[in-house]
Amino acid sequence: MKCFVLGDSHIGALRSSIDNFGLPSGIEEVTFYAGPSASMADLAVRDGNLIPTSEKLSRMLSYTSGGNPFIDFKSADIIVIHGLSLSISVCSRILDKNTIEGGQSQSLNYITLACLSQAIADNLQRRLAIHVLKMVRQVTNKPIFLSQTPFPDARINNLKDKRWDFLKLDYKEGLYHAFNDGIKITSNKYGVKSIPQPECTLVDHIYTDSMFSKDSQGLAGGIHDESDFGHMNQHYGSLVWGGIIACL
């Protein structure tokens, strides 16, 4: 079975897993197509393929795939879309003015978990992962798996960064379930399968254990700085591959 992985810098975890532990069981070949940050937005559909519309993305696709400057899905058996802003950060704006039932607040409106899940699904429509998913669906009906951007390293709580204040709510378990349900709603809409973050990697429901961010590798293969709280390592990647294999 041949697998194509489309993503951003977060594919480093999946790639370093293969480099360190070998191919996942049942997978004969994996080809990565990725660009840093939001550069995969420069993809376009042409003649049944996804082609880059910028020289920068063309170079990155060639680099990450081992020489392919565009994406031809003919040889793929399954497709994984990993990262690409499929992130808990989607909840930030929603929780600016609302809090979850079961939480404590005197100044915010209460929102049920069902409503939060739907709001998350609605907001995910604007995320790059879904933009890429819709383009892939235009050119192939092969099985697609949506794999989320990892929850941030638990050390992020030590930062004075207001962008992550929305995670400091009382009812973290509720947010965890609402986020996963929002991804499931989105996955069902497009007829794909969602791969939740492995539970054994979690701390307090919505953070990743720091052991999984230690020595994480970037797209170019270098090790991320210790202050990087977003990218994960080969051990995390191995567990994500396990979740993908379990869904086949």
What's the pLDDT tens digit per position in 138-148?
999 999 999 99
**CA 46, 48, 125: angle at the middle one, nearest 5?**
75
- Tell me: pLDDT of 104 over 70: no
- What pLDDT score does 62 carry? 98
- What pLDDT score does 227 carry? 87
Q: Which fold has domain 2-88+121-159+173-246?
A: Rossmann fold (3.40.50)
- Judge residue 77's burial from the number of C-beta atoms within 10 Å of its C-beta, 0-12 exposed, 13-18 middle, 19 or more buried: middle
Mean pLDDT (the chain, rounded): 93
- What pLDDT score does 105 carry? 57
- What pLDDT score does 164 carry? 87
Report the chain's terminal Cα–Cα distance, integer Å.
Answer: 11
CA–CA separation, 163 vs 151, rounded Å? 14
Average pLDDT (37-46) is 97
Q: Which residue has the higher pLDDT, 161 or 189?
A: 189
Cβ pair 233, 222 in contact under 8 A: no
* CA dist 201 → 84, 147, 193 (Å): 20, 14, 20
Scanning the chain, the segments in alpha helix (DSSP H) are: 11-21, 55-65, 113-124, 128-139, 172-190, 234-246
Phi/psi at 121 (5° precision): -60, -40
**DSSP states of 66-106:** TS-SSB-GGG-SEEEEE-TT-SGGGGTTGGGSEEETTS--S
Average pLDDT (198-218) is 96
pLDDT band with cut points at 50, 70 and 90 for residue 84 = very high
Query: The pTM is what?
Result: 0.95
What's the pLDDT tens digit per position in 151-181?
999 999 888 778 888 888 778 999 999 999 9
Which has the closest alpha carbon to 61: 86, 40, 84?
40
pLDDT band with cut points at 50, 70 and 90 for residue 247 = very high
